[in-house]
Amino acid sequence: MVEFYILGMKKDNQQQPMAKDLLLASINTIKESQILEGKIIEANKSNIFIDFGALGTGIVLGREIKDNPSLVKELKVGQTISCVVLESENENGYIEVSIKEADRELSWTKLEELKNTSRNALAKVIQANRGGLLVSLLDQKGFLPVSQLSPEHYPRVDGGDKEKILKELNKFVGKDLKVKVIDLDPREEKLIVSEKALNKEEVEEIMKYFALDGVFEGTVSAVTDFGAFVRLSPEEGAKAPETEGLIHISELDWQLVRDPREILQEGEKVKVKIVGFYQGRPALSLKALKERPQIKTEKNEEREK
């Protein structure tokens, strides 16, 4: 019979059952998929050993190291790391763990936190397609649809030519974009982000400064078939961020407008009225600052009398 004792406990008949109970209890508290934190006590090309204190010693097997050759180089003895439990006790008595799986689990936890708190994060654009941009955020791949691009980055292509849209989107590859997580599912490895979704504080500042019914001067940043985008800049020292609003084609003039380019040109300075907000961005009007044709006619009739 093999005898054992815990360091610091007397090896007698009274203490042995207690020591055995503590060891069994520690093993029973460990479950598969559980995340543990411990210190590296040895790292080589074959195995990585991790001290989990009273819970025992963990081991990262060679196959994970083989699949991730840079793993050993990145780790140092004494370093604290997180691991996910693959097996609570293997045939050699070690807790079998994975560092890679823990990183994956923790990244999804952090992404969930970003979504719940509506905080912004920087995502790296790694590829473009006709539907949007593939991004990397906290080591997870996600998708930024074209419809979720900010107004300043939205590809304003006449006629919606898909090849031209793709050409515009390819300009973002390799760049970092500030995004918000709007949908995710770790089980399906689904991650959807948005660039145009602003956080609550930004929306409040924009709506407070660029107030409804207010009149502001801006610069036409783009003209499209459906209207014109106008960039609005707050006065120096104001808390509100610079923003961009849309004058829909129906808000350009009281008369029917077939082509917005007949009314406005890119780079032109223009006064606009705030008539609403859409997803935190101001909806603008040019015609609201013009007299209705019928009112002008009534005044002319009065003058003629």
The fold of 118-194 is: OB fold (Dihydrolipoamide Acetyltransferase, E2P) (2.40.50)
- Could you tell me which of 82, 130, 134 has the C-alpha nearest to residue 103? 82
Q: List, for residues 252-273, the tens digit of each pLDDT value.
A: 999 999 999 999 998 999 999 9
Q: Which residue's structure tokens are 């300075």?
A: 269
Q: List, for residues 136-187, the tens digit of each pLDDT value.
A: 998 899 999 988 888 778 887 766 678 888 998 999 999 999 899 999 998 8
Architecture of domain 34-116: Beta Barrel (2.40)
Global pTM reads: 0.56
- Could you tell me which of 231, 237, 151 has the C-alpha nearest to residue 198? 151
pLDDT of residue 173: 95
Q: Which residues of the chain have pLDDT under 70?
A: 1-28, 158-160, 198-199, 295-305
pLDDT of residue 7: 37
Q: Quick one: residue 295, left, alpha or beta (phi over 0 = left, psi -120 to 50 = alpha)?
A: alpha
Which residues make beta-bridge pairs with 96?
A: 59, 87
Q: In the CATH hierarchy, which top-level class contains the domain 200-289?
A: mainly beta
Which residues make beta-bridge pairs with 192?
A: 143, 183
DSSP label at 198? P
Strands 243-248 and 281-285 turn out to be: parallel
Q: Say how far apart CA 89 and CA 32 lie, in whole Å.
A: 10
pLDDT of residue 144: 95
CA 5 remoteness from chain centre:
51
Residue range(s) of every CATH 2.40.50.140 domain in the chain: 34-116, 118-194, 200-289
CA count, 13 A, side-chain hemisphere, 46 = 0
